Amino acid sequence: MTALEQARQILENTLGYLGFYVTIEEDEHGPDGPTLQILTDESEALIGKRGEVLDDIQYLVNRLLIRRLPDAPRIRVDVEFYRSMREDKMLERARELAEQVRATGKPQPLPPMNSYYRRLIHNAFVNDPEIATESSKGDERFKRVMLKKKGK
C-alpha cells in the first residue's frame, strides 16, 4: 500500500468517525505533490474559517501517516478545490499590488497568512526584476508579506 493510499485510509476513517459523508480522490502527481481531494456537501465544516480546519486535518493526516511510514512524503489535503482556488486568488491579488508598487514605489502589505502561502508569494516574485518580498518578523503563525521595490 502506497503512502497516498494509507493517507486516504487515515482520512476516510477519521472523517467517517466524525460523521462526514465524503468521496476522496487521489492525485499521486499533483502540482504540489501527492494530494487527497475531499468531495462533499459539507465542505464549509471541513474548511473552517480561512481554511484553518482544513490545515488541521492535513496536519493530523500527515502526523498519523509519518507514524506508520517514517519516510512518507507530505500529503496535501484539499476540500472541493478550496486550496487551489484560494491560491489563485491570493497570487492574483499579490500581482495587482505588485503593479501598484511598480507604479507608485510605495510598499504594499498583503493580509496575514501562514508559512505555506507566504512561501507561494515569495516564489511568485523570486525572479521579478523590480519587486522584492519580505515577511514580517516574529513568532506568530500568521505573518504579513510586504511587497516593495528592489533597491529601496
The answer on pLDDT for 119 being more than 60 is: yes
Q: How far apart are CA 92 and CA 125, in angstroms?
A: 12
**147 and 133 Cβ atoms separated by less than 8 Å:** yes
This prediction has a pTM of: 0.76
- Per-residue model confidence as pLDDT tens digits over 10-66: 999 999 999 999 999 999 887 778 999 999 999 999 999 888 899 999 999 999 999
CB of 131 closer than 8 Å to CB of 108: no
Cα atoms in the 13 Å half-sphere on the side-chain side of 147: 30
Q: How many angstroms from the chain centroid is the CA of residue 64?
A: 19
pLDDT computed for residue 152 by the predictor: 54
Cα atoms in the Cβ-side hemisphere of radius 13 Å centred on 30: 20
